[in-house]
Amino acid sequence: MKASGRVILDKVFTVITGLSVILLIIVLLVILGPMLWRGLSAVAFKGTVEFRKMQLAEFGQGDESAVHIETAKAETAQKTVYEMIDRFKNGVDFEKLADRAKDIYRDFGEELQRKGLPREEYTELRSLSRKIRNELTAAFSSRDIGEINEHIDFVLKYSSDSRFEGTVASQFFRMAKDYRDAAANIDLEKRDEYASELAELEEIIKGLFGPHPEEDSPALAQFRYGATRWDQAQNLLYRLRWKEKWVEQEPGQPLVKIAVSRAELFAGTELEGLFGFVEMNLGRMLLPRWTFYWRYFVDDSTPGHYFGGVGPEILGTLMLTLLSMIFVVPFGVISAAYLAECARDNLIIRIIRMCINTLAGVPSIVFGLFGLAFFVLFFLPLFGAPSKPCILAGSLTLAVLTLPVMIRSSEEAIRAVPQTYKEASLALGASSFRTFVTVTLPAALPGILTGVILSLSRVAGETAPILFTAGIAVGPVPKSIFQTTRTLSYGSWDMAVADKLAAQVPHNQYGMVVALVLLILCLNALAIILRSRVFKRLKGH
Amino acid sequence: MMSSNKNEQTVAAAAGFDQPLLLTYTQDIKGFLLKHLGRIVLFVLTCTSVLAVFLIFLFVILEAFPFLNRFSIVEFLTSTAWYPSAHERPEFGVLALIVGSIYVTITALVFSVPIGILAAVFLSDMISFQVRGIVKSIIEILAAIPSVAYGFFAVLVLAPWLQKHFGFPTGTNALNASLLLSIMALPTIISVAEDSISATGRELREASYALGATRVETMFKVVIPAAHSGIIAAIVLGMMRAIGETMVVWMASGNASQVPHPWWDLSQSVRTMTATIAGDMGETEKGSDHYRALFAIGLLLLVMTFMLNLVSEYFLTRAKKSMGKS
Amino acid sequence: MSKEIVKVEGKDQMLSSTVLASKEKSGKLALLHGVKEKSVVKPMKKTKPVQECACPVVEARNFSFYYGSKMGIKDITMKIQPCAVTAIIGPSGCGKSTFLRSINRINDLIPNIRVEGEMFVNNQDIYVKQINLVNLRQQVGMVFQKPNPFPKSIFDNVAYGSKLQGIRKRGDLQEIVEESLKAAALWDEVKDDLRKSALSLSGGQQQRLCIARALATKPSVLLMDEPCSALDPISTGKIEDLIDNLKKDYTIVIVTHNMQQAARVSDQTAFFCLGELIEYDSTTTIFERPNKKQTEDYVTGRFG
């Protein structure tokens, strides 16, 4: 190859290798970036009055009087919307109207009885009111404006009848009048459609503002409140304004999703203006405010992680990891000390080293199997503990998993201590043991600590070993090490794959996994800082 | 002056040999006992790792043995029919699962080996010390991210994206799993390969440059051949990581127990051994055939990773030996 | 430090004022005092008159040392003079350090070693099974080539040996630390802050700290393995002065690469070559009228 060609190849190669590292950086950013961004929105977001209501009612957080004032303000703003809907319903929801007609008929009957009228009058009025009721019902269920007007006219003939004045039956006539007005305005063909559209609309309104102030509080926590976050509210607003439909735009082609304005669906009715009104006034109806929900890391969560935080998960992770460290650090450091100080290169030591390497290579799920078969089913019953998954079994499993990491890093730290310190100490008359404890170990301590932190971060992220030994997705906060626990790792898996509700609260999904990633990154950063300090310290010699 | 001070100060110095140079009998015995007892205790504690490995193999084999006894091992290993919950005749063929594991592993290596070696070359040769520290930190961060977070990304971010942009029937498939596995194997490959490339030393490179070779020629004709054992070890270790990975493949591979039909079609879902164990265990009764079959799969995994470990050890010692000589 | 020419037993001798002062104390000589500038030309020391000395005698008899199958030193027989400075010189790899390190058995750290012959300290062969290594090493102190203070404070470094001896009381330790630092000529420089890390001192200061540390256990023999080779000339000078001061109370054996240093500080000199003791005599003899040709070749710089 010509010299210039070789030089070009050289430069190209340099660029390509550089690109590979840039690719790595890009991958890291692509993976971490969106996750961190979305996850952090679990902690910093625009929260609405519903959020503050929820915090007060479910977690006891927040200023009660302030929340009440805000709730009142919001409800005032929301009132218009409810009124608009009610009015529309009066005109359209014929089942309800028919039911009301029946109620009026019944109440009128009772009233007549109380009045104690003579039998003939009673029966006559009763049958008349029955007829009115039936006419009204017919009017309600009819689609033909002509028919409706006929029925209404019939009913209204009796509006001036004195026998009905001042009684419950006068409501018949009001209903009839309202209905005639409403019916004049709407497309009666679409009435069935209206019913289902209205149901959808009411559902969205419920999602935005919570259940109607006069309704009973639902059993499930997720339905008790409206949109707790402003971004949630915006999504719902979009759904309010636009309905997504699948239509066949071109024959023979797959269906295409288009968005239809709901306002159009309700064109000509009272509700047409609802949508613009809601959009313009949503701020006043929900009172959004920037919220820094640091309690996310402390609070428990409602079922399905719909509301609340990851407090129990963090606690579970910490308990598991700290307990496993307590088990593994003594064995790890002592093994490392033996290997670094006392071991000669013979067969036994080589076997030990091979076993350490083997341990390091065992897949994490096999550790889970081992934890199940040995710790849960065999070891724990030996000591009288129930053979069920629990924190103790999980941390023992994790301790075995992280043993090689601990041994390797500790041995490295001990070997890094310069031989001269040992010589100086021995020359002063100290025994080997004394030298190790008073000189070598303190000098190696930062390195060992780095190893502990790295082991901690590894253990915190492990999911497979605790799947059958300690972890659960849903459960109470553990009170002893003989119970199972939720953890950040298990919870992240659960939120991503198993939990059905989780998709509705992406901020909580991402929040959980981001809490885990942040915990691990902080631990690693700590280890890196420690390691550079160690390097500086020993560099003096 | 200094001298007079010194005179007074050396008063108590050199009092003479007043301490005995020989140990008394009791001192001797005590020292002997302590020393050897101490060593024995430390030795026993160090053997916990041996004990752990022994127990792992023992208990996995114990739980898997009844299954392996009753069902034919050949059928176990060669049949692709994995229907453990079938009522009449449950079948326990794991070939599809083995193929699934190997499929995603090899594909992951196809992505990660070239990138990993190039990155290792870059790290060891092309950049200054400070930048190297930063890049190494980035690689450490990549290695530190837990597998469940990668799996999360795979399911919630990558899968929809793949589905949208490539029109796959599903976003959780072999491609998804392989991509994530390659990212997870990269730090291992890079660090081991970089170690062995750096270990070849400056002299080798300087000699090559002195003869007029360019960087790329030196890399490919001198350094990499010299470090080839270490690089092979790096690849084997990356393979070990990929095969043993559970959460990512469970979440991202689609979990369809099938041998991919056109072998190059990565958009198909596959199921790996690790995902099977993780996924099925929650639903099986302790002690049932299914349960023991899962342990059998675990045993298979254990054996496979053990073998890979031996291979990587072999190559690492070869690398050390060749470095030792140069 | 000043030096004077004094008449001692009829001969002209140049002695340091420290020695003069001690001689005055012992009342053996009449002295002329006067302060002179420190002379630049390094004088040759004459052999000291034998004095009463409490130090033990270190004696090697047919002592050989093997690293596995490789020979370190072979068949060394020599008697170290108490209360004097003995220098061991020779080319690289000739076993000087090996011999030195055999005296306090610090070589035991190396695996696969083998010893033949005897090494006597205070009439006790130290290569017996029942040797009390702790006591041996506390009484035979060592200073290493590269200064190696522990990564602890200055105080803790010097007090380390005393703590090993069981001295626990604060007051006692402080006294010993101060004493040792003064003996090592380091006290004035560090007395303000003994809590400072030892690693923050300069190279020369660290080496003096190591000497102080070694002195704290009140040894009788001080072994120095090329103590100045890692130091600059000024520090080297300070340490040589120190050795001069110490030698009347300690037996000092110093291994050095630097012939001029050996000539400056020592009373006796041993010349090693290829693991064997070639010649052992007073310093003046070795440097002025060596008996063996090899010695002469080395001393005059013809090889090594």
Query: Looking at per-residue confidence, does C56 or A311 come out higher?
Result: A311
Pick from B2, B5, B6 the residue to mutate for testing the C interface (most C CBs within 10 Å).
B6
pLDDT, tens digit, 9 for 90 and up, residues B235-247: 999 999 999 999 9
In the prediction, which pLDDT does A242 show? 87
Burial of B169: CB neighbours in 10 Å, binned 0-12, 13-18, 19+: exposed
**CB–CB of A460 and B146 under 8 A?**
yes
Please check whether residues A173 and A211 belong to one and the same domain.
Answer: no
Question: Could you tell me which of A43, A45, A41, A39 has the C-alpha nearest to residue A513?
Answer: A39
pLDDT of residue A186: 64
Q: What's the confidence (pLDDT) of residue A121?
A: 84
Instruction: Assess contact for A185 and A267: CB atoms under 8 A.
Output: no
* Cα R_g (chain A), whole angstroms: 37
**Do B93 and B75 meet the contact criterion of CB atoms below 8 Å apart?**
yes
Average pLDDT over residues B24-50: 88
Query: Within an 8 Å CB–CB cutoff, is residue C133 touching chain A?
Result: yes
B131 touches chain A (CB under 8 A): no
Contact at 8 Å (CB) between C88 and C73?
no
> Which pLDDT score is estimated for C88?
92
Indicate whether A305 belongs to any domain. Answer: no
Residues of A in contact with B246 (CB under 8 A): 363-365, 463-464
Which 8-state DSSP code applies to residue A308? Answer: B
Domain B95-325, CATH number (from 1.10.3210.10, 1.10.3720.10, 3.30.70.260, 3.30.43.10): 1.10.3720.10
C256: tokens are 């050095």
Statement to judge: residues A390 and A293 lie in one domain: no
Contact A429 C142 (CB under 8 A): no
Q: Which residue has the higher pLDDT, A28 or A90?
A: A28
* A91: confidence class by pLDDT, cuts 50, 70, 90: low
Query: Which of A384, A365, A388, A364 shows the shortest CA–CA distance to A376?
Result: A388
Residue A365 and residue B294: Cα distance in Å, rounded? 11
Query: Hey, what are C254's tokens?
Result: 């110093």
How is residue C159 written in tokens? 């007090």
Most confident of A164-173, B72-81, B211-220, C278-287: C278-287
Tell me the two tokens of residue A471: 């972890």
Kindly tell me if the per-residue pLDDT of C304 is higher than 70: no
Token pair, residue C119, equals 């090494």
- Alpha-carbon torsion (A481, A484, A486, A487), positive or negative: positive
Q: What is the pLDDT of residue A315?
A: 92
- Chain C residues whose CB is inside 8 A of the A432 CB are none
pLDDT given at position C31: 32
The pLDDT-based confidence of B325 (bands split at 50, 70, 90) is low
Beta-carbon-side half-sphere exposure of residue C275 (alpha carbons within 13 Å)? 12
CB A14 within 8 A of CB B218: no
What's the pLDDT at B8?
Answer: 35
Distance CA(C31)–CA(C21), nearest Å, equals 9
Q: Which two tokens stand for residue B146?
A: 């837990």
Q: In a 3-state reduction of DSSP, which class is residue A78?
A: helix
Query: Is A486 in contact with A320 (CB distance < 8 Å)?
Result: no
- Residue A147: the pLDDT is 81
Distance from CA of residue B275 to its chain's centroid? 18
CATH code, domain with A349: 1.10.3720.10
C contacts of B6 (beta carbons < 8 Å) = 18, 182-183, 245
Contact criterion met (CB below 8 Å) for B194 and B120: yes
Cβ contact (<8 Å) for A461 and B278? no
Q: Which amino acid is at B36?
A: H
Confidence at residue C45, expressed as pLDDT on a 0 to 100 scale: 42
Q: Mean per-residue pLDDT for C88-109? A: 88
- Of A212 and A31, the structure prediction assigns the larger pLDDT to A31
Coil vs helix vs strand at A430? coil
Q: Which residue has 């007073």 as its token pair?
A: C282
The yes-or-no verdict on residue C279 having pLDDT over 80 is yes
pLDDT at position C37 over 70: no
pLDDT tops 50 at residue A61: yes
Q: Backbone phi, then psi, for C77, in 5-degree steps?
A: -130, 110
Measured between its terminal Cα atoms, the distance across chain A in Å is 50
Sequence-distant (6+) residues with CB within 8 A of C74 are C64, C275, C276
Does the pLDDT of residue C26 top 50, yes or no? Answer: no
Is A57 exposed, middle or buried, given 0-12, 13-18 or 19+ CB atoms closer than 10 A?
middle
Question: Tens digit of pLDDT for each residue in A428-466?
Answer: 988 888 899 999 999 899 889 989 999 999 999 999 999
Say which of C17, C56, C248 has its CB closest to residue B17: C56
**For testing the chain C interface, which of A422, A428, A438, A534 should be mutated: the one with the most C CBs within 10 Å?**
A428
Please answer yes or no on whether B115 and A34 come within 8 Å at the CB atom: no
Flag whether residue C132 sits within 8 Å of chain A, measured between CB atoms: no
Is residue B9's pLDDT more than 90?
A: no
**CA neighbor of C253 nearest in space, from C22, C82, C72, C66:** C82
Residues A379, A265 within the same domain: no
**A404 in Cβ contact with A360 (< 8 Å):** yes
Higher confidence at residue C246 or residue B16? C246
**Residue C261 pLDDT exceeds 60:** yes
Instruction: Determine the residue among B17, B247, B297, B306 to mutate to test chain A binding: the one whose Cβ has the most chain A Cβ atoms within 10 Å.
Output: B247
Non-local CB neighbours of A434 within 8 Å, separated by 6+ positions: A425, C164
* H/E segment holding residue C212: helix C203-215
If you count them, how many residues does chain A have? 541
CA–CA dist A469, A323 (Å, integer): 14
Task: Report the complex ipTM.
Answer: 0.89
Taking only the tens place, the pLDDT of each residue in C157-167 is: 999 988 888 88
Q: C147 CB contacts (<8 Å, ≥6 apart)?
A: C203, C206, C207, C209, C210, C230
The whole-chain average pLDDT of chain A stands at 86
- Substitution target from B44, B56, B170 for chain A, most A beta carbons within 10 A: B56
pLDDT surpassing 70 at residue C13: no
Shortest CA distance from B156: residue in chain A: A496
Tokens read off for A365: 């799920």
Q: Say yes or no: C144 contacts chain A, CB-CB below 8 A.
A: yes
C130:B2 CB<8 A: no
> Which region holds residue C302: left if phi is over 0, alpha if psi is between -120 and 50, else beta?
alpha
| Subunits with 3+ C-beta pairs closer than 8 A to A | B, C
Length of chain C: 304
Specify the pLDDT at position A281: 85
Question: What's the CA gap between B258 and A83, in Å, rounded?
Answer: 58
Residue A354 CB neighbours (<10 A): 16
Greater confidence (A163 vs C79) lies with: C79
Residues A289 and A407 in one domain: no
At B13, is the pLDDT very low, low, confident or very high (cuts 50, 70, 90)?
Answer: very low
Binary contact (A460, B298; C-beta < 8 A): no
Residue from C88, C104, C85, C87 nearest C96 by CA = C88
Q: Please, what sign has the CA dihedral across residues A50, A53, A55, A61? A: positive
pLDDT (average), residues A205-224 = 82
Q: Which of A512, A406, A397, A530 is nearest to A456 (CA)?
A: A406
Q: Give the residue on A whose Cα is nearest the Cα of C137.
A: A429
The domain boundary, picked from A273, A300, A327, lies at A300
Could you list the residue range(s) of the whole structural domain that residue A34 is in?
A: 3-40
Residue-wise pLDDT for A471-524, tens only, equals: 888 888 888 889 999 999 999 998 888 877 888 888 888 999 999 999 999 999
Nearest 5°: CA angle at B300, between B298 and B303? 110
Q: What is residue C59's three-state secondary structure?
A: strand
B22 touches chain C (CB under 8 A): yes
What pLDDT is recorded for position A466?
92
Please tell me which of A147-151, A375-379, B211-215, C50-54 the model is most confident about, judged by mean pLDDT. A375-379
Residue B2 confidence class, pLDDT cut points 50, 70, 90: very low
Q: Could you tell me which chain A residue has the CA closest to the CA of C224?
A: A427
- CA A228-A231-A237 angle, 5° bins: 90
What contacts A439, CB < 8 A, 6 or more positions away?
Answer: A417, A421, A422, A424, A425, A430, C150
Judgement on whether residues A179 and A277 belong to the same structural domain of the protein: no
Q: Is there a contact between A446 and A534 (Cβ–Cβ < 8 Å)? A: yes
d(CA A397, CA A402): 9
Q: Residue C41: pLDDT band by 50, 70, 90 thresholds?
A: very low
| Calpha distance A429→A425 (Å, rounded) | 7
**CB within 8 Å: A513 and B214:** no
A246 and A103 in a single domain? The answer is no
Taking the C-alpha atoms of residue B19 and residue B5, their distance in angstroms, rounded to an integer, is 28
Quick one: fold of C81-97+130-299?
Answer: Rossmann fold (3.40.50)
HSE of A137, CA atoms in CB hemisphere, 13 A? 15
* DSSP three-state, residue C79: strand
CB B252 within 8 A of CB B170: no
Structural domain includes residue A306: no
Check pLDDT > 50 for residue A363.
yes
Does the pLDDT at position B96 exceed 60?
Answer: yes
Average pLDDT of A329-356?
Answer: 90
Asked whether the beta carbons of residue C165 and residue A439 sit closer than 8 angstroms, the reply is no
Highest mean pLDDT among A108-122, A365-379, A487-501: A365-379
Round to whole Å and give the CA distance between A3 and A14.
17
Are residue A231 and residue A107 in the same domain, yes or no?
no
All chains having 3 or more CB pairs closer than 8 angstroms to chain B: A, C
Among the listed residues B20, C241, B35, B191, the one whose alpha carbon sits nearest the alpha carbon of residue A342: B35
A275 with A402, same domain: the answer is no
* Domain edge (last residue) among A259, A280, A300: A300
Total domain count, chain A: 4
Q: What is the pLDDT of residue C129?
A: 83
- Quote the pTM value: 0.81
pLDDT digits (tens, 9 = 90+) for A276-313: 888 888 888 888 889 898 889 988 888 878 888 899 99
| Domain positions in chain C | 1-41, 81-97+130-299
Considering only CA atoms, which of C225, C226, C295, C287 is closest in space to residue C260? C287
> Which residue from C142, B4, C200 is spatially nearest to C189, judged by alpha carbons?
C200
In the numeric block, which tokens belong to residue A42?
């679990």
> What is the percent of chain B where pLDDT is above 70?
94
Cα distances (angstroms) measured from residue A150 to each of A154, A180, B95:
6, 10, 77
Mean pLDDT for chain C?
Answer: 80
Q: Where are the beta strands (DSSP E) in B65-190?
A: 82-83, 91-92
Model confidence at A528: pLDDT above 70: yes
CB contact under 8 A, B122 and A433: no
d(CA C152, CA C161): 13
Q: CA of A31: which chain B residue's CA is closest?
A: B153
pLDDT of C47 strictly over 70: no
User: What confidence tier does C53 reach under pLDDT thresholds 50, 70, 90?
Assistant: low
- Rounded-to-integer distance, Cα A388 and Cα A394, Å: 11
Which of C207, C304, C247, C233 minimizes the C-alpha distance to C42?
C233
**CA distances in angstroms from A257 to A249, A392, B159, listed in the order given:** 9, 53, 21
Decide if pLDDT at C42 tops 60. no
Q: Does B79 touch chain A (CB under 8 A)?
A: no
Q: What is the pLDDT of residue A527?
A: 87
**pLDDT of C22 strictly over 80:** no
φ, ψ for residue B264, nearest 5 deg: -90, -5
d(CA A407, CA A410): 5
Most confident option among A122-131, B67-76, C45-54, C198-207: C198-207
Given a cut of 60, whether residue C9 has pLDDT beyond it is no
Domain residue spans of chain B: 95-325
- Supply angle C-alpha C17, C20, C26, rounded to 5: 150
C175 vs C157: CA distance, rounded Å: 14
